[in-house]
A = this chain, B = another copy of it.
Amino acid sequence: VSNLLVDIAQASHRVLLTQASPIDLRSNVAGKAYLAFRSGDRLSRPINKALFVFDENELLRRLAAFMNDRAAHLASADGPSTLYTIAMSYCAASDTVRLLDKKTPATYFEIFAGHLLADRFGANPQTSATVLNLDMKGDLPTDFIFDLGAGRSKFHVPIKISTRERVIQVWAHQRVLDGIYGAGRFRGLLVALTETKLDRKKLDVVEICLPDQWRVYQMFIAQLDRIYYLDPPAAYARLATGYPIVNVRPFSSFFSEADLLSGPS
């Protein structure tokens, strides 16, 4: 799977650089600058310039380092931009080839992040949990579940391109798992790409964030252990610094803290 992801990243990156042209976007996000790739009347999603590796030779060097030791490379200073470039190359290239296809990038991103987690955990995910109760027995469909075995953590891992207004589902699913298995048995890790929104007429970019709602969910529905972003919005990153703590971090952090998270909670 890593080989395939690297091949797809390389091919997508080449599609962007050779079959589309970059255009600058107006950023309404403090401290972030964006561009998009245009091909005919198709425009890619916004790309954060500081996180995207534009140079092909540099990307090839990164991909070789990634294949050589994935966890070490992703936990290094290069980690955030390597992760962002791999994920964004495919999603942006798809935007320039297929008009308004949202599903394929979402599926790709789930496989991308799910594989990296499985690789780091050394365990494959499941997508359902068993419900055992006095009156019912059955399988509840879930996002990815990683079970590292006896004495180690279990993880509930929803993976989304962006969270938007549906994110309350993530806390609600965490609550269901806490209810069925007991609080703390499953650590909730949400992985998201970005919260950018592009106005296709004005060509400006905003980040859509609802930090006060997240604080309410974290206090009253369930507790998520980590929310990882490939491009963390500042409004969410600040939630890690005050009560109620919502630990929003760059996805690259996962690759250094995975062992810590995998121990007894």
Chain B's closest residue to A135 (CB) is B243
Beta-carbon contact of A136 and B171 below 8 Å? no
Stretch at the interface among A94-102, A196-204, A215-223: A215-223
Q: A133-B219, A242-B135 are in contact. Are A168 and B179 (CB under 8 A)?
A: no
Instruction: Determine how many copies of this chain the complex contains.
Output: 2
Contacts of A2 in B (CB 8 A): none
- Interface flags for A138-168 (1: CB within 8 Å of B; 0: not) read 1011000000000000000000000000101
Contact pick for A212, options B136, B172, B220, CB 8 Å: B136
List A residues 241-260 near B (Cβ within 8 Å).
242-244
Q: Judging by beta carbons under 8 Å apart, are B180 and A220 in contact?
A: yes
Q: A172 to B179: give the CA distance in the assembly, Å.
A: 13
Interface of A is mostly: helix
A180 CA to B215 CA in the complex, in Å? 12
How many angstroms between the C-alpha atoms of A219 and B133 in the bound complex? Answer: 10
Chain B residues in 8 Å Cβ range of A138: 212
Given A135-B244, A244-B135, residue A216 in contact with residue B176 (CB < 8 A): yes
A140-B176 contact given A243-B135, A244-B135, CB 8 Å threshold: no
Residue in B168, B176, B244 whose CB lies within 8 Å of A220 = B176
Asked if A131 CB lies within 8 Å of chain B CBs, one says yes
A265 sits at the interface (CB 8 A): no
Closest to A165 in B: B169
A175 near B: Cβ within 8 Å? Answer: yes
Instruction: Report the minimum CB–CB distance from A166 to chain B (whole Å).
Output: 7
Q: Does chain B have a CB within 8 A of A173?
A: yes
Q: In the complex the two chains form, what is the Cα distance from A173 to B212 in whole Å? A: 14
Expressed in whole angstroms, the minimum distance between the Cβ of A145 and any Cβ of chain B is: 15
Question: Which residues of chain B are near A180, meaning CB under 8 Å?
Answer: 216, 220
The interface centre, meaning the residue of A172, A175, A215, A217 with most chain B CB atoms within 10 A of its CB, is A172
* B221:A175 contact, CB within 8 angstroms: yes
Which residues of A176-227 have CB atoms within 8 Å of chain B's CB atoms? Answer: 176, 178-180, 212-213, 215-217, 219-221
- Since A179-B219, A179-B221 are in contact, a sample of 16 more A-B pairs with Cβ atoms closer than 8 Å, ordered by chain A residue number, is A134-B243, A135-B242, A135-B244, A136-B212, A136-B215, A138-B212, A140-B216, A166-B169, A168-B172, A169-B169, A171-B172, A175-B220, A176-B217, A176-B221, A178-B220, A221-B221
14 chain-A/chain-B pairs, Cβ below 8 angstroms: A131-B212, A135-B242, A135-B243, A136-B212, A140-B213, A141-B213, A168-B169, A171-B172, A172-B172, A172-B217, A175-B175, A175-B221, A176-B216, A179-B219
